[in-house]
Amino acid sequence: MLQTEAVNAFCHAPAVQALRIGIDFDNTLIDYDRVFLAAARERGLVPADFLGSKREVRDAIRQLPDGEIAWQRLQGHVYGAGIGGAVLFEGADVFLRRCRALHLQVFVVSHKTRYGHLDPARVDLREAALGWMTGHGFFDADGFGLRREDVFFEETRAAKLARIAGLDCTHFIDDLEEVFADSEFPAGVRRILFAAEANECAALLCRRWADIAKAVLVERA
């Protein structure tokens, strides 16, 4: 009941209505942990009883002979043919539905090449991502209500940063500190780091999407 009342209050707040929220895609909206673990086990890159996140899988594989190449091949599979096994991060659905209810402008801006490195199947990673988003209700009027034209996949980080600036985002949410540390990151955009921890980063650290909702949707600055 309290949450419903809060959402109704936000609907009449001009400061909130002006928000233009940019969100990264990979490892920010979409959680690949289970897919990376299962695919690494299937390929014998980690032991059958290995448990760990995407980062822990990556670190283990990189210790193997030619581990970096093996890791890049695995990434190509997971981000392409294997994307169907990925899930939305817990709480991201609540955040996106609140944005829709508040009539906020939401953009997805991702550094994503069209094809994965060393992927023999040559799966179009952008089409795979759009297919996953479609299947999870991103573009449905009764789902998250995003517009297809507000999803941008860029070839380079520089192009991603330029897109964020061009969209006049008030906030940007990303899982990578180096995005916010880049000297070309547009000034004036509120930086929200979705991560378990941070080093030296001029961004607000949020470990859960519920924390992001509190930081972005409640603030009046």
- Which residue range forms the structural domain that includes residue 106? 2-31+89-217
Q: Structural domain tally of the chain?
A: 2
Six-digit token pair at 186? 């547009």
pLDDT of residue 120: 76
Tokens 């759009």 — which residue? 130
pLDDT of residue 28: 98
Q: State which H helix or E strand residue 108 sits in.
A: strand 105-111
- Do residues 60 and 127 both lie within one domain? no
CATH number of the domain encompassing residue 103: 3.40.50.1000
- Do residues 65 and 99 both lie within one domain? no
Q: Crossing angle for the helix pair 33-42 and 67-79, nearest 10 degrees?
A: 120
178, 180, 176: which is closest to 196 by C-alpha? 176
Specify the pTM. 0.87
- Do residues 99 and 154 both lie within one domain? yes
What whole-number distance in Å separates Cα of residue 49 and Cα of residue 34? 13
Contact 98, 9 (CB under 8 A): no
List pLDDT tens digits, range 156-207: 999 999 999 999 999 999 999 999 999 999 999 999 999 988 787 789 999 9
Strand partners, 204: 192
- Do residues 78 and 109 both lie within one domain? no
Q: State which H helix or E strand residue 132 sits in.
A: helix 125-135
- Do residues 137 and 174 both lie within one domain? yes
Residue 18, classed as helix, strand or coil, is coil
- Do residues 112 and 193 both lie within one domain? yes
Cα–chain-centroid distance for residue 114?
17
- Do residues 204 and 113 both lie within one domain? yes
List pLDDT tens digits, range 46-67: 999 999 999 999 999 999 999 9
What whole-number distance in Å separates Cα of residue 165 and Cα of residue 82? 32
Six-digit token pair at 58? 């990556």
